[in-house]
Structures are given as C-alpha cells and as structure tokens.
Structure 1
Amino acid sequence: MKKKLMGKRLMAAGLSVGLVAGMLCGCGAKSTGGNEQAKSEEVSDALKFDSVSDVKFPLAEKVELTCFVYATTTGGGTYQDNYVTDWIEEKTNVHLNFVYDVDGDDAKTKLNLIMTDPDTIPDMFLATNWTKSELQSYGQQGLLIPLDDYLKDCPNWNRLNEESPLRKGDLVMSDGKIYTYGDDNECFHTHFQNRMYIYKPWVEKLNDGKIPQTTDEMYEFLKKVKTEDPNGNGKADEIPMTGMIGGWATDPTVWMVNSFVECNNPLSNTNPTVAAGLVVNDGKIEYSVMKDEYKEAFRFMSKLYKEGLLDNQTFTQDNNQFQATLSNEDHLVAMYSAGGPQNDEFWKNQDGEWQDWEVMEPVEGPGGVRFAARNADNYFGSCIGSVSVNCKYPEIAVALMDFMASEEASLVQANGPEGIGWDYTTEGSSLSGGTPTYKTYDIPDDFDWVGAGFKDYTGKKVTYVSDAMIRCSTSKFRGDMQVEDPSHDGEYFLQAAAEKYSKFDPGEDTLVPNLVFEGQDAQTISELTLTIGDYVNQATVQFITGDMDVDKDWETYISKLESMGVDNYVSLYQKYYDKYMENIEK
C-alpha cells in the first residue's frame, strides 16, 4: 500500500512541478559580446549584494545562471529536465541553464573547448572531473574566481568544515586558494573498511567462544581449523583464512599488516587509496612499506601461507571462485577479509548464513601494535562547484551552492520530493543508534531506475546523480537517518562494525591528504606512484608466497626502491604536505 500511495503522490508532484517561466536576467557570457559584454551589463539594484550573507532566497528578481555539469545521466533524463532543478528554481528564483550535461569523452572534449574560449565559459560548473592540478591551473589563469572571501560568509560551508575537520584542507589548493565548493558525502563505515570476518560456530567449537585478540592467538586458532576437522566431513578441506585481490577490501594483507605497523596499501581496491603506504608521523612523511615492522609483517604472513593457514588461492582467485569457496555445501572457511558480509541475504536485509559470522577486531601484534587501517574521505569529489570569471553574480552563485548544501536540499538532490522519496521523522532508531531526523523510502515499483534515482510518469528525472550533488552528508547527518529494523539492516551492521574498529583508529593526523602537485612534480608523482606502487605490491605477494625470502631479499627490496627514486617520491610528498599544512593553518 505504501509504495502504491507513493507512486500516486509522485505523479501528483510531477503534475504540479514545471519549469518556471518569466523574464530571465542573464549573467553569463553572450555569444555576440562575450565576457566583456556580460560584465558591462547593468545589474539591477535588487540583485546587488555586498556579501554572500546578504543574499536571501528566493531572490526578488529571477536570475539565470549558465551551468556546466559533467556527470553520468545513465538511464535517461537530463539535469535540465529534472525535479531537483525545478525545485531549486522554486526555492531560490535562480534558473539553472545547463549548457552541457553529457558524460564520457564527448563531455570532456566539450569542456576542453569551452575552456579555450573565454567567451563560451558558463557562469558556474557543478561538476567537471578536473584533477586538483587542472582546477588550480584554470584558477591561476584567471578563468575561475577564488572563492575564499565568498565562502567566509556561507553558513553551511562553515558548519560543514566544523563537522568535518579534514574538509577544508582537501579543498585548499597549493597556491592557498579555494576554487571549488566541494562535496560532503562521508561514509563512516568506509573509514574502516578493511575488516575481517570470523565464523562463530567454529570459534565456539574450537576456541571456547573466545575470539583471538593477538596474532599469536589467531595463529593457534587457525592451526586448530587446519587440523581438527571442524566441519566434520572427515576431510582436511578447511581453509583457515582466505581473501582475494580486487574486491571491496577483500585483500587480507591490509588487515594483518596493521598488527605490525600503520599502513593502508591494498594490493588492489575498488576505492583507490590516496598515498598508499604513506603515513604522517609528527609532521614527517614516512613510507611504511620500507620499515622493519613491515618486514616482520611479511614474516608473519609468509608463515601463515607456508603452513596452509592463509589460502594459497588468495592472490589468484577471482570473485566467482571466492564466492564459491565461501558458499560451499560443506562449510570451509574460518576467516575472510571483506568490506561487508559475502552473502546475498545480507544485502537484501534478510536472515541468512551471514548471521553466523562476526566482525573480528584487529589483533595485537608482538610489538603491541593494533591499528585499524584508516581511509580518508574525499571532499573534492568530481570537482564540485566552481564559479567562472564570466559570472556577473558571484555572490548569488556561491549562495546557491551553499543553499544546495543545506539538509533539505541535500535530501531533495538525493531522494527527490519530500513525502515521496523522504520525510522528516523522530520515530524509531537512527543509523548511529540515536533518534533519527529523517527517513528515506524505497523506489516505488512502478517507477524506473534512472542512474542514482528514478523518474516520474513524464520521464522527468527526480534526483541528481551523486557525482553532481553538493551535499551536507556528514557522518553525523548520515547517522541521523532512520533504520526501520536494525537487526536486518546492512547499513546499520556496517556502521556498528566501523564503530568497533574506530577504537583502533591511528588518528586523522597520520593520514596523508590528497595533495595538489604542480607542474613537473605532478608528472613525477604520477609516474612514481605507478612504478613504485606496482613494485611494492608485486614484492609483497612474493615475500608472502616465498618467491622472495624475507631475510635474504629484504635489502635487495629496499635497494630496488631506492634505485626507482623512492627518496624523491617521499620528499615531494613532504614538500607539498608542508605547503598543505601552511595553507590550512592560515
């Protein structure tokens, strides 16, 4: 009944929402006069503002802002013909005129052409997929407006920076300027996504219900799995620990290394890791994969591999083989690494075999080290929210972006109309275990998926795609979402898992941020990241499998890294990290 009612309400909303007509006050570059003509046009007194804080929505007069967005529109629909665009116009009296909103190579080519001709540059950019170096280059060429002074008066911007301490630093370029508003889509459980799962029935059977807390205890438990036939089929077919390379946090080496030294260097990961293997120690950049503690991690993992306690298929199997091993009729696996439970019923929020598994805390190594691998959030995103030098109303453009970062606008961008895609509520439990402030609804059965959202009966897209959203989705905001049934909610389960791991957080100050490298340094970092990173990952597997000997080949490994330019690699990171710290402390 609820889905049918929502479908009817969405249709009604589609009937009531249309493009607002009227006179549009242009503020973008004109094809006949270009940039100079746009700037010379008279600005109405009603639209003159001394600061962003003076801008009050809805505006007294309608304003048109030309806008470029480079983001997927998979499944049909456009940003122009979209409920969110109409809703923004209704609330602000700003009409967004999207000059281009197609993804792929065509959009990249179009954007490059736009930026070579100042007369064609739109007022603002919602998403461009520029790198930080590209963004800074356009800013230094005078094609984009530095937003620093404007953002000081933005209430949502300041609130987000308070709730997300690393946010502002991710958006300040190496020249000390800010050229993009940025996104805020924190996901608490991905902060600690490298998790290990342990099979509880075997813990009860072999270990008196005690989950291992140290590397020694884990080793002894894995030996019992190997030798005591816990599945009772009379075969020595048990696999004490397994994983795979290429899945979501399914690489077990990351989890194990952090019992010896802080290091987030996945051999492969669907979520690319910034500065893989690098950490900050008292302001100094260090490469963990060259430390003696990393050598000891190799020694431990090699021991597990040689004794058959770490699955010898870990570094070669694909996802199908991984899943087949985990779902074998005769249960085979005691421990596996992954971001989430590897079970269909879990993702469907149904009862299932996943309930026999427990998220295992990091174990303490022989040196007393016990870290959870930590991942940083990306606030830069697809380069969200920039204003061009052509814009005659920069205060309005920046105020619009700050409006989009409000809680209500964030919910509308992601879920569509209130009452259909989402509602405010204080009933039940929230994701973080407290009192919720809002709830979202499943997509109605009678509507088609369109990218990240759905469309109404007219075919109009109802939400924006995440790549083009300006959100306030901090960990706190996301945690305030209602969870209907915590015992059968995957997001709630992962949140609780991350909270368990957060006790072993090495600290945000140890994370190397996504730095902005300039000129030849950017090229050098790009090249060394590939060559050095590939060699480290290759050597890691070889040390574990025994193709390289931990004692005999360690110095050769270090010498190889030095010959590849690792000292220059680390020193460049240090140079730009120092710049980063100077900029955020200003």
Structure 2
Amino acid sequence: MSRNAKKLLSFLLVVVLAVSVLLAGCGNKNTESNSNINTSKQEQTATNSKDPQNLHFKSDKPLEFTMLYSDHPNYPYKEDWLLWKAIKDATNVSLKLTIVPMSDYSQKRSLLISSGQAPEIIPKTYPGQEIPFVASGAILPISDYINEMPNFSREVKEWGLQKDLDTLKQADGKFYVLPGLHELYTMQYSLAIRQDIFEKNNIPIPNTWDELESALKKLKEIYPNSTPMSDRWQGKALLLNAAPTFGIPVSSSDGLFDWTGANVLYNSSKDDWEFYPTSSEYKDMLTYFNRLVKEGLLDPETFTQTDDQAVQKFVTGKSFVIMTNTQEIQNMINRMNETLGQGNFKVTQIVPLAGPKGAVVAGSRLENGIMISAKAKDDPNFHQMLKFIDWLWYSEEGETLTKWGVEGVTYQKVNGKFQLMPDVNYMNLNPSGTKNLQKDYGFSGGVFCLLYGGPKDLAESMMTPEVAKLEEEVNSTRKLLLPPPPVPLNESQREQYNMLNQPLADYVQQMTYKFITGVASLDKDWNNFVQQCKAQGADQLVKLTNDVYKSTKDKMK
C-alpha cells in the first residue's frame, strides 16, 4: 500500500471512530433523558406547562372518580352546571357524586365511612373531623402520598405552612386530611358598627376593648333606652375574638368557645399545656364582659338569643355593635336597606380589637379540605386521582377554574384583573348581572374552593374594596398566633381525653355565661369554680396532654 493510501485509510478510521463516539454519546444522552421522563400524556402536559410550578394534569383516557358532595341550599346541585364540563374538559375526569344535603353532611359522612360505603374523595372536612376515622383505617394517611402532589407541596413550602401542617399529625406521625391552604391569614370575624351613628355623635372608631367600652358608654348616654351592643352566635365568636388579646392562646382549631370545646391550651413561653379557664387571664376577660353587662352596655341575652333575634335588634337600630363576618355583613346591609332605607345608614366591619396582651388574632391558614377513603388505593387509577386532586384543589389554574369559572363565559381579564362577565353576578360584585356564578354555573361553591383561600392575588380577586382594605389592615397591624404543636393522642388516650374534657367543657361554658351575666359572682364564686374544675378532672386532663406531648414531640418534628 502506498504511503498516501495509508494516510487516507488512517484518516478514514479516525473519522469513523469519531462519528461512532459521537453517535454513542448521543445515544446515551437520549437513553438517559428518556429514562427520566414519564411519557404519559398528562406528564408531558405538566412538562410543557407555561408555568412549570403550576403542574397541569390531564388524563390520556376518560376517568371517573367517586366523590361525596355537600349540597348547599343557596345554590342547589344541578347536573348541567358548566362546572362539571369545565372540569372534564381540563382533566378528562368525570365525578360520580353522592349528593347529601349540607344540613346532614357530617352525619351522613360518618355513616358512609364507618360502613365502608364512602366515596373515594371526601371533601368539606375540617382539620380535626378526620380523627374519629383514623384508628379504623377507613381513610388514607394522605401524608404518605404528598410526594405525588407537587402543587400542594409547592404551596406548603412557599407559604411557610409546614408548622401548620404538623398540627394535623396523629400518633403515627402521619396526617389524614388534606387541608385547604391560605397564603395569607384571612380574617373573617370581628365587630360591625353603625358607623353613621358613631360619626354623628363624634365617637371614635374603637381600636381596643377599652376604647369599645368608652364608645358604648357614650352611646348609652345618648340613647338611654338602647343596649348598645347585642351579639349573635351565643357570644362564642365574641369571646374567641377577645381571648388571645387577654392572653388566652386559642386558635381557630381548638377554640375555647367553639364547637370542639378545648380548654387545655399551649403556653409557648413554658412549652407546656395548661387549663386556661381557671387562669387569671381568663378571669380578667370575664371581668371585662361582666362589667359591660352590669353597666347596660352589653345585652345579657347575647348568650341565649337566636342569631336572627340579635341581627333583628341591629338592623332595626335597637343596637349599634354586633359580631359579624365578611359574608354576613352584606346580609345585614341588605336587610337594613329594607328596615332603615338605603342611604340612611352606614355599617362597617372593624379590625379585631387589641387587648391587655396586645393586638393579636387567633386563626389558622388551614381550611376545610379532603379525606380520601382507604379503598381508593385499590382503584387502578389511584395515582391519577392524586394528580387530579392536586391540580384541581391546589394549582392556581385549578383554583381559578373552580372559583371564577371559564374565561369568556363567566369572567374576563381586564388590565390583568378578574372581572365577572356583564351578565354574571356573585356576592354583589356585579349587581346588574342576571345570572349567578354559583346557582347557574356551579362555580365558587364551598366543596371545591375557599372563599378567600389559595394564592394572595386569587384570594383578593373576589374581595370587595372594603374587605380588601380590612384584610390589609389586619395583616399589617395584628399578629397571628403561631399554631400550637401537635398532641397526637392514640385511640385509648383520646377516649380518656374526651371522657374528661366533655363534661369540663360543658361546665366551663355554663359558668362562663353565668359569670358574664352576673348570675354567678366573680368575687364570691370564682374559687368554687376553680375547685369544681379540679374535681371534674382538670389536672388529669393537663397531665395527660403534657405526658403525650413530651413523649412524642421529637418524632413530630
């Protein structure tokens, strides 16, 4: 072979070798890439999403999941709601519903779960309501599957909700309800006042409980035949509002005065749990409200009258101060348009009052959420179900769909802001609209969306200017109490806890009302009250709570 031929052959061998290495490298790269990508249609959709953090789910085949549905009387279920079509168009999922009237929902949910007949998806479950079903294994420990729920995980991380989520943990270190999430604390309950009456008489809007007392005294002087303040909800919301400002560390999930009747509360400065109804802070709060009753400033019927009786006094001008929330205030205004005449009054919801222990509010950024039936894991499409739930309830895209509906049909974007279509109304945001977003289309219903939950911008998108201003003021001037750590009682411990706590809770509530209204004397009867609480097991309840807390807190982290 000639010298030139040898050079040519050597050159060709080098080229072939280089091309082979290049091809091999490309082949390896493709193989590695393919091994890390699930090529199912819904995963491709997630990968191609405009917002990689807002992962979209759409099944490549039609799916059907069963779900319990709480039917609200204000917007009764309709099979032809646009909501159902919109969900299916977005996800290729249909929901087979078990429809239950809202008034029977809790009882029916319990019966279905206990009998093993519950649908796979069980929404409208508030944290704590899952506890009775944990020991039986009837519902899933959803914390085992959070790694399959990227939207939920992102919101928890970005909004700093891990400590809130930890409060849901049970004795096994797992949690069993997938809660609704709020980016910001959303204040619902505070006092409403007749601002026109305050302004007419040059009475400053109160910022503290002491200032409220002064305002009520002036109102009593000017309107001697009135009782300036008469409240609803048997005074429970009033006391729950006041408690943290007097140094009683309640939160919305344990609420001294709400339906759960918890009285053993967490003292963060001591890192232990105490029985607060016998504390000096509790007595100070009772003393304050008792003084209001004695001086004719607070209606003693507050703690016995129906909600309608309390509201009737306010809307007819017989009282000037009442507890409300951001939804009920509009209902009162509507009634006052009829009783006092539109334009003849001004009602304002004010920021929660500050107290001796500061400008603090009790609440939570967790809301009602979802339990998943244990039998759901046997569904061949179980993992698709998790992705569906994650997208519909926890992605901004899904939250927007269930809240606002379909763009161009129920809402439009104007300069980047959500706006109802001209013919659609909701919560008086568009009074001229002839169709209702809830009743006619099924959107903004409590089964799927939180009124002011989710991302900040989306939560604020449906607030009236008054509510948005109030929320901003609350978040900038009030401090939200941190959630208490979990106390994961096992089944036998919980039974013991309930046996001690329930009669105590009933007794405390009864005596709370008696002390405030003057039926019992804080001077003469307080020591006996303290002794009765001890006799009924307050110390045992505290010991049980602290023993469980101290023995489990390391594994709850």
Instruction: State the TM-score, normalizing by the size of structure 2.
Output: 0.71
- Mapped partners of 1:180, 1:168: distance in 2: 10
**Bigger-Rg structure (1/2):** 2
Match of 1:413 among 372, 386, 402: 402
Contact 2:190 2:323 in 1 (8 A): yes
Q: How far 1:204 moved relative to its partner?
A: 6.0
- Indicate which of 166, 177, 180 corresponds to 1:183: 180
Residues 472-491 of structure 1 aligned to structure 2 (within 5 Å)? 473-474=453-454, 476-481=456-461, 489=464
Q: Is the 8 A contact 1:426 1:438 kept in 2?
A: no
Matched, 1:281 2:254: no
- Alpha-carbon deviations, 1:277-307, whole Å to 9, x = none? 7344233223332211222222333233222
CA distance in 1, matches of 2:555, 2:292: 45
2:180 counterpart SS class? coil
In the TM superposition, 1:395-406 aligns within 5 A as 395-404=383-392, 405-406=394-395
- 3-state secondary structure, aligned to 1:278: strand
Distance 1:265 1:276 in 2: 11
Flag the 1:389–1:289 CA change in 2: closer, same or farther, 3 A: same
Whether the aligned pair in 2 keeps the contact of 1:240 and 1:309 (CA below 8 Å) is yes
Closer, same or farther in 2 for the Cα pair 1:380/1:522, shift >3 Å?
farther
Q: Which runs of 5+ in 1 are unaligned?
A: 1-44, 116-120, 428-435, 456-461, 484-488
Q: Distance in 2 between matches of 1:57 and 1:213?
A: 47
Alignment-derived partner of residue 58 in structure 2 = 58
- Residue identity (%): 18
Q: 1:561 Cα deviation (Å)?
A: 1.0
- Residue 153 and residue 477 in structure 1: after superposition, are their counterparts in 2 closer, same or farther (change >3 A)? farther
Cα distance in 1, alignment partners of residues 43 and 449 from structure 2 = 27
Instruction: Tell me how far 1:336 sits from its aligned partner.
Output: 3.5
Asked whether 1:155 is paired with 2:157, we answer no
Report deviation, 1:481.
0.5
3-state SS in 2 of match to 1:242: coil
Residue 281 of structure 1 aligns with an amino acid whose one-letter code is S
Q: For the Cα contact (< 8 Å) 2:166–2:486, is it kept in 1?
A: no
CA distance in 1, matches of 2:85, 2:353: 48
* Normalised TM-score (structure 1): 0.68
State whether structure 2 residue 519 is matched by structure 1 residue 544. Answer: no
Any conservation in 2 of the 1:147–1:178 contact (CA below 8 Å)? yes
Identify the match of residue 531 of structure 1 among 503, 517, 521: 503
2:274 partner SS: strand
Aligned residues: 489
**Unaligned stretches of 5+ in structure 2?**
1-37, 48-54, 427-431
Kindly indicate whether the alpha-carbon contact (under 8 Å) linking 1:163 and 1:474 is maintained by their aligned counterparts in 2: no
Please state how far the C-alpha of 1:392 moved relative to its aligned partner. Answer: 2.9
Counterpart CA distance in 2 for 1:304 and 1:374 is 23
Matched, 1:494 2:467: yes
Give the one of 362, 365, 371 matched to 1:374. 362
Indicate if the aligned counterparts of 2:67 and 2:122 stay in contact, CA closer than 8 A. yes
CA contact (8 A) 1:226 1:238 kept: yes
Which residue in the other structure is 1:168 paired with? Answer: 165
What is the alpha-carbon distance in structure 2 between the residues aligned to residue 422 and residue 581 of structure 1?
Answer: 48
Q: 1:481 corresponds to which letter in structure 2?
A: S
- Asked if structure 2 preserves the Cα contact closer than 8 Å seen for 1:171 and 1:379, the reply is no
The 3 A distance-change label for structure 1 pair 225 and 91 is: closer
Q: Give 1:390's aligned residue.
A: 378
Report the aligned-residue RMSD. 4.5
Q: Does 1:355 align with 2:346?
A: yes
Aligned partners of 2:546 and 2:41: how far apart in 1? 44
SS for the counterpart of 1:533 is helix
Q: Which residue of 2 aligns with 1:20?
A: none
The alpha-carbon deviation at position 543 of structure 1 amounts to 1.4
Structure 2 residue 333 is the aligned partner of structure 1 residue 346: yes
Once the two structures are TM-superposed, the CA of residue 555 in structure 1 deviates from its matched residue by 1.3
Distance 1:576 1:380 in 2: 26
CA contact (8 A) 1:302 1:546 kept: yes
In 1, Cα distance between equivalents of 2:276 and 2:233: 20
Distance verdict in 2 for CA 1:240–1:175, change over 3 Å: same
CA distance in 2, matches of 1:219, 1:73: 39
Question: Which one of 202, 219, 224 corresponds to residue 225 of structure 1?
Answer: 219
Residue type of the alignment partner of 1:518 = N
Q: CA deviation digits over 1:210-249, x for unaligned, max 9?
A: 445555555444433333xx25xxxx31334332343783
Q: Distance in 1 between matches of 2:555 and 2:70?
A: 30
1:185-200 map, 5 Å: 188-190=185-187, 193-195=189-191, 197=193, 199=195
| Local SS of the residue matching 1:454 | coil
Is the 8 Å Cα contact of residues 142 and 175 (structure 2) preserved in structure 1?
yes
Q: CA deviation at 1:548?
A: 1.8
Distance 1:279 1:504 in 2: 24
- Conserved 8 A contact 1:403-1:409: yes
How far is the alpha carbon of 1:442 from its aligned partner?
A: 1.5
- Verify: 1:467 aligned to 2:467, yes or no: no
Deviations 1:487-526, CA, capped at 9 Å, x for gaps: xx3xx423433443445645332x4478654313333333
